[in-house]
Chains A and B, each alone.
Chain A
Amino acid sequence: DGGITQSPKYLFRKEGQNVTLSCEQNLNHDAMYWYRQDPGQGLRLIYYSQIVNDFQKGDIAEGYSVSREKKESFPLTVTSAQKNPTAFYLCASRALTGGYTEAFFGQGTRLTVV
């Protein structure tokens, strides 16, 4: 089945540690996105990528880093510089050909920093 897989679903880390969230898609989509969801704030864009080895900062990129070494994979690292990392993180992908297209989302990763 085609889709987007985020792992793990739940993640606990100690304050000051870097942590990497995984996102893999087998939809052959060119674009991939990382969003953060906090209560009452909707989905805010962290980073996005339209092509391998290229990515752009979103509205809240500070304290995060990404890589896009393969079309299928777009991991997100939450660094110790992120001041409030506890949140629900969502990865999405989208086809860039074929006209207007929607984004498909993974099931999310709940990160809790203690």
Chain B
Amino acid sequence: DQQVKQNSPSLSVQEGRISILNCDYTNSMFDYFLWYKKYPAEGPTFLISISSIKDKNEDGRFTVFLNKSAKHLSLHIVPSQPGDSAVYFCAAIIYTGNQFYFGTGTSLTVIP
């Protein structure tokens, strides 16, 4: 059973606009959430994270929002750039569990 879900397999956005990637989870015990970016035939690279005690975390053009009541998190990229084109995975972990659970990924295309 998929505990972390990304329901949009793909997303296309114009350069300079906002990209919003969404992620839903089912396990209320998750207390740390991460976003990874992945290019084809490469390993994922860490982008940004948020703990369950926060509802927002920013790092430059990237902001992650967490809505615990809805079990939903989103990644906002503003402004979007062509180099942002990649597959984005969200992940969740229970601090004491040490096992990450990944979504199926969303392929973002930023159109110049």
Contact = CB atoms under 8 A, between A and B. Distances in A.
Given A42-B89, A43-B89, A100 B32 contact: yes
Contacts of B6: 42
Contacts of B104: 40-42
A105 B95 contact: no
B34 interface: yes
Nearest to B34: A102
A102 B46 contact: yes
Contacts of B103: 42
Interface string A73-114: 000000000000000101010101000101111111010000
Contacts of B98: 31, 48, 50, 94, 96
A100 B99 contact: no
B42 interface: yes
A94 to B, nearest CB: 8
Interface in B25-62: 32, 34, 36, 41-46, 49, 51
Contact residues on B (Cβ < 8 Å of other chain), bracket: 20 to 34
B82 interface: no
A31 to B, nearest CB: 6
29 contacts: A4-B43, A6-B43, A33-B100, A35-B102, A40-B104, A41-B104, A42-B6, A42-B102, A42-B104, A42-B105, A43-B44, A43-B89, A43-B102, A44-B102, A45-B99, A50-B98, A58-B99, A88-B41, A90-B44, A100-B32, A100-B49, A102-B46, A103-B46, A103-B91, A103-B100, A104-B46, A105-B44, A106-B43, A110-B41
Given A48-B99, A100-B95, A103-B46, 7 more contacts: A4-B43, A31-B98, A42-B6, A45-B99, A90-B43, A107-B43, A108-B41
